[in-house]
Amino acid sequence: MSSRRIVVGITGASGAVYARRVIELLTEQEVEVHLAVSALGRRLLHDELGMEGVDADSVSGGRGSHVVLYREKDVGAAIASGSFVHDGMIIVPCSSNTLGAIAAGITLNLVHRAAAVCLKERRRLILCHREMPLSPIDVENISRLTQAGAIIAPLCPGFYLLPKTVDDLVDFVAGRLVDLLGVRHDLNVRWQGE
């Protein structure tokens, strides 16, 4: 296994394809992925990707040996402790409900708890919000979390590389997110200039 460890949370909203692609990119680089999926995240994976259940192979493109999957309510899991050393956490997608819970310090499930631990340990926490429009409460929660050290990375594709397919758009966003985690990849997502 890699010496790199990334915690991944999947919650509701929309954007299951982003979650799967980020996990694929991480496991391609042999990063050890520690995955927690909320109940609404499971529904999202079912509704948008047709997954009947969540298993390590289906979310990683067949590289399940690099994925450790946790139960949603297991707040005693390794990733719920500050003594579990890792290289950062990403919640993709991150619903407004999850955003609000983390901003308020409420830990109703393992995704919330692992995120709270990142903040208290001053580890990288990337929240990939996928809601629009934003309510004033979302804006306040985003501000509060940014001040606490989180990185807010809305799931917004860029068009300057002239995408031709939906996969191109997904790769653009997933590549930028993996960049934020400091993991290399070969996707063409960077503007080169004139």
- Which tokens belong to 106? 């409420």
Calculate the CA 10 to chain-centre distance.
6
The span from the CA of 17 to the CA of 14, in Å, is 9
Which tokens hold the place of 48? 């948008």
Q: What is the pLDDT of residue 191?
A: 83
Cα-Cα-Cα-Cα dihedral sign, residues 70, 75, 77, 81: positive
Measured from the Cβ of residue 1, the count of other Cβ atoms closer than 10 Å reads 10
Measured between alpha carbons, how far is 161 from 41 in angstroms, rounded to an integer?
30
From first to last of its 194 residues, the chain has per-residue pLDDT tens of 457 999 999 999 899 999 999 999 999 999 999 999 999 999 999 999 999 999 999 999 999 999 999 999 999 999 999 999 999 999 999 999 999 999 999 999 999 999 999 999 999 999 999 999 999 999 999 999 999 999 999 999 999 999 999 999 999 999 999 999 999 999 988 888 77
d(CA 160, CA 1): 36
Phi, psi (5° rounding) for residue 84?
-85, 110
User: CB-based burial of residue 54 (10 Å sphere; 0-12 exposed, 13-18 middle, 19+ buried)?
Assistant: middle
pLDDT at 101: 98
For residues 34, 18, 92 and 129, what is the CA-based torsion angle, rounded to 10 degrees? 170
Whole-number pLDDT of residue 3: 79
Domains of the chain: 5-180 (3.40.50.1950)
Query: Do residues 66 and 108 lie in contact, with contact meaning Cβ atoms separated by under 8 Å?
Result: no
The two most distant CA atoms of the chain are separated, in Å, by: 52
Task: Please check whether residue 26 is in contact with residue 181, taking contact to mean a CB–CB distance below 8 angstroms.
Answer: yes
Quick one: which of 31, 37, 20, 127 has its CA closest to 86?
Answer: 31
